[in-house]
Amino acid sequence: MKTIVVYYSNKGSNKYLAEKISNKLSCEIEEIKPRMNIFLLFLMKIHLGIKPLKHNIKDYDKVILCGPIWMGSIIPPLRSFIKRYKDSLDKLIFVTCCGSTDSKKYEKFGHGLVFKEVESILKDKCILCQSFPISLVLPDDKKEDSDAFMKTHLNDENFKGEIQVIFDDFINKVSN
């Protein structure tokens, strides 16, 4: 099985997660590069698409797509990736380090709604969606604190405990 991790990250958590997945699976990795990487313009829904990937997506059995969620939506670089490569890819696994918790995943800004949209675009090609809410690395009294989760990024210091268990379980599922 040939797998590639493809990711976009603004503040580094999804880069960290993507690299961790690729290291664990010993598979290739490539960053999605928007033609124009200006965060504020993304939020205004001004987006000029992405640069072509160096790797040929048709060469892989599984693509692990990793990136954040903004405003309850598939972010523009990931949406462009899906649009451009959906016919070339065989199976896709969608992974996000996001702000929303599992208990709020179906609320307006929750990752559950984004997962549903990814599944509805890719149909059977989407075989798994996995969230790594940033609250997993926050202390109990800060888990619902939006200020704390916006300021927190994944790193070697905080990637332990519950998030590590979810990660190991994810790697098991993806490897089988």
Helix (H) or strand (E) holding 92: strand 91-96
Q: Is 97 in the site for ligand FMN (CB under 6 A)?
A: yes
Can you list the alpha helix ranges (DSSP code H) found in the chain? Answer: 13-25, 39-43, 76-85, 111-122, 146-151, 162-175
Q: Which of 50, 4, 56 is nearest to 27 (CA)?
A: 4
- Residue 135 touches ligand FMN, criterion: CB under 6 A: no
Q: Pick from 69, 74, 82, 92 the residue near ligand FMN by CB under 6 A.
A: 69
Single out the residue of 72, 121, 138, 159 in contact with ligand FMN (rule: CB under 6 A): 72
Q: Does 112 bind ligand FMN (CB under 6 A)?
A: no
Nearest Cα residue to 48 out of 18, 84, 88: 84
Q: Hey, is 72 helix, strand or coil?
A: coil
Which stretch in 4-12, 20-28, 29-37, 86-94 sits in contact with ligand FMN by CB under 6 A? Answer: 4-12
Please choose, out of 19-27, 52-60, 84-92, 96-104, the segment that lies near ligand FMN by the rule CB under 6 A. Answer: 96-104
Judged by CB under 6 A, which of 3, 6, 9, 80 binds ligand FMN?
Answer: 9
Number of residues that bind ligand FMN (CB under 6 A): 20
Show the tokens assigned to 159.
């990637």
Tokens 């989760």 sit on residue: 149
Query: Which residues contact ligand FMN (rule: CB under 6 A)?
Result: 9-14, 68-72, 97-100, 109, 111, 134, 150, 153
